[in-house]
A and B are shown apart, each in its own frame.
Chain A
Amino acid sequence: MKKPSLFMIPAMILFVVAVMVSCLNDDPDPPHTTIPYELPVIEGFPKNLNIPEDNPLTEEGVKLGRYLFHDGRLSGRLHPDSLMSCATCHVQEKGFEAGIDHPKFKGGQPVGIPSEEYPQGKPTPHFMLPTINLVYNHNGYLWNGSVHETNEELGSPEYGVPADPAFHRKSVEAFAWMAIVAPHEINGDLEKTVETIENIPIYPPMFEAAYGSPEVSIEKISKSIAQYVRTIVSYRSKYHQWLRGEAELTPAEQRGYDLFFSETADCFHCHSGVLLTTNQFYNNAKDSVFDGIGDRYSVTKKPWDLGAFRAPSLINCEITAPYMHDGRFKTLEEVVDFYSEGLVSSDYVHPLMKGVSKGGVRLDPQEKSDLIAFLKTFTDHALLEDPAYSKPSDLHFDR
């Protein structure tokens, strides 16, 4: 019989002890798990997604965000006249804008919840930008790009939001708390919103599912809404289908396409690619006098950014009137007329705006008609009707 080598016995004991210790260290509570949310992978669309490392998309977080986005009690109030949510202004069937025929906001310009100071509600200082395809944008948000990942601005002390890193102004997450405190939007306060949401029975379990704890906080509210907003992607318009070989353009649309992507009309330099925007900022020759308020200059302080605003995506432009940052144009026809004959010269016009000295690119009536026919191929009907983005059917406090 072979003798055991004695030095192996302590080694085995150590091995067994190690196994036992590792078993003892097992946490009796299983770790909180969530299901990753998979965004569709679309040919030709950006692969570099703007999703912060500390807020990955999860099925649970997106679901919670969808409820909060549509729940008027996000305002921190329960009176029917004081309900307001993201969806009050960002209306799905209007391409996540208010729309010029919004029942509450005359001409499509939102106003905040009325207060003593603003009995009629304070109008927003700008018109709407849609909450679509933000997951593909790395160039800041809002008309002037002031919410940007390099922005060091914190909180809104004037509205009781401390200058704390939790209240940064860097990403989509910031929009929830900014909207809650802004006088021209929800015009509320964060504590009331948190208190209201945590007392609505459906929410604590949803927070637990998303974050492992039923505790409600403004940070979690912001993250959830941001997650949901990042799932709103538009890629099913007739134009996008045509790019993928799934649809045909009519002759008028085809002529409009040729014009759009020509140096005659020259729309494509600012409204390029599958997103139909570069997300850059341009002075597009609307005015000759500038006050430097709310424009790109207000962010960069560079003189050539006076009067410059973000080129918005043209997706759904058929239904997102009024147009421009100040909503000055009510129809697509007015917009096309402006670029054709209405440009105003100044020292700050972007050089991509050719033909300013002639007033514009000078399109004839047929060209204008063709161009508008093509612009209407950008309408993403599938997005506007997609139940994945609609108000949850069991949510009875909307707007």
Chain B
Amino acid sequence: MKSNKKGQWINNVSRVGSLLGVCLAMMLIVSCNDDDDDPLPPAGGKLMIRFEHHVSGQPVTFNDMKYVNAAGNPFEVTDIQWFISDITLHKADGSSEVLEGDGTGDFVHYIDTGIPSTLTWEKEDTLQAGKYTGIAMTFGLKGPKNLRNYFTDPPESDMEWPAPLGGDQGGYHYMKLNGFWLDLQQKREAFNFHLGVGPKKDNQGNTLFVQNWFETMLPNSSFEMESDETKEIVIVMNIENWFHDPNLYDFNEVGAGIMNNQDAQQLAKENGNNVFSIGSIKSHVQQ
């Protein structure tokens, strides 16, 4: 009997051991299979976009009344905050890729000259190698991105465009460009060149809210992405171009603030097509 019991125990231990062994083997097999199924990462490189703000081809010097716009207004710039969204890379085969956002889905990037970290954006994953024929962007925010509470955290939420000026759904400033100009009496006056949703009366006296975002294709923005390189693209806002071509923008006529002035915002929007350019496209070998 003893011998039988001992044999039974050994048999049971052996069964459990065999079962564990089978499980272990299965895990190894599955794990090996997983490794085998991992696709190779697509050939590509890193994409980094830097944002610069220029006047007359040079980086802007803030708080210095040394610039003159096309209307002859001496002006200085104190600070700029703005949104760029829906950056789209067009490919040689006719397809295009909209850059992905930082967790919110759509691409939106907030740029603030007072916050250096916002002046650079890096794509989290690699950008597929190949020829890209151009870069398009949206100045400002469109669709659901421009509705109240899309942003709840500062600094983006501080760009709120209030409902009385933007309709029930509110929205956000596309840009705050602040500074001073010298008026006709050489008095230093503040300007708030703020773009967003402009209220406008229709023929019946009803208030309409006009969205002033615009899409633009950046000139000379083709590039070729090669594997294992970092492509650094500089997008430049040429500040003085907000104030001319095709519309002459005179601070003495328009005044300090234009949030409630759709006509002025329309001038700015039309001038905006010449505001953005490519500063440089450089390749860096990844370390």
Contacts and interface: CB of A to CB of B under 8 A. Distances in A.
A303 B62 CA distance: 12
A107 interface: no
Interface in A276-304: 278-280, 303-304
A280 B112 CA distance: 13
A272 B190 contact: no
B256 A355 contact: yes
A15 B20 CA distance: 10
Interface stretch (B8-16, B37-45, B89-97): B8-16
Contacts of B149: 43-44
B164 to A, nearest CB: 5
B148 A8 contact: no
Interface stretch (A23-31, A74-82, A228-236, A256-264): A256-264
B153 A278 contact: no
A15 to B, nearest CB: 7
A259 to B, nearest CB: 9
Centre residue among A4, A278, A303, A347 by max chain B CB count within 10 A: A4
A21 interface: no
Nearest to B158: A278
A357 B191 CA distance: 12
Contacts of B13: 4, 8-9, 12
Contacts of B180: 351
Contacts, number: 98
Contact of A351 (B154, B162, B165, B179): B179
A304 B113 CA distance: 15
B286 to A, nearest CB: 30
Nearest to A254: B164
Contacts of A4: 10-11, 13-14, 17
A373 interface: no
Interface in B99-152: 148-149, 152
B257 A139 contact: no
A45 B158 CA distance: 12
B148 A351 contact: no
Contacts of B190: 349-354, 356
A5 interface: yes
B283 interface: no
Contact of A2 (B11, B160, B162): B11
A257 B148 CA distance: 17
A292 B116 CA distance: 25
B16 A263 contact: no
A2 to B, nearest CB: 6
Contact of B158 (A15, A272, A350): A272
A45 B17 contact: no
B177 to A, nearest CB: 10
Interface string B40-63: 000000000000000000000001
A268 interface: yes
A138 interface: yes
Tell me the interface secondary structure of chain A in the complex.
Answer: loop
A304 B76 CA distance: 13
B78 interface: yes
Interface in B145-204: 148-149, 152-154, 157-158, 160, 162-165, 178-180, 187-192
A257 B163 CA distance: 10
B16 A12 contact: yes
Contacts of B260: 262-263
B173 to A, nearest CB: 9
A61 B67 CA distance: 56
Contact of B18 (A5, A350, A355): A5
A312 to B, nearest CB: 15
B160 A351 contact: no
Contact of A11 (B11, B20, B189): B20
A12 B11 CA distance: 12
Interface string A336-357: 0000000000010111111111
B268 interface: no
Contact of B14 (A2, A45, A347): A2
Nearest to A44: B149
B17 A9 contact: yes
Contacts of A357: 187, 189
Contact of B17 (A8, A257, A280): A8
Contacts of A12: 13, 16-17
B219 interface: no
B192 A352 contact: yes
30 contacts: A1-B7, A4-B11, A5-B17, A8-B17, A8-B18, A8-B21, A9-B10, A11-B21, A12-B17, A44-B148, A44-B152, A45-B152, A46-B152, A46-B153, A47-B152, A47-B153, A139-B154, A258-B164, A262-B260, A263-B165, A263-B259, A268-B160, A272-B158, A278-B154, A278-B158, A304-B78, A350-B190, A351-B191, A354-B190, A355-B256
Interface of B: 7, 10-11, 13-14, 16-18, 20-21, 63, 78, 148-149, 152-154, 157-158, 160, 162-165, 178-180, 187-192, 256-257, 259-260
Closest 3 CB pairs of A and B: A8-B17, A4-B14, A261-B162
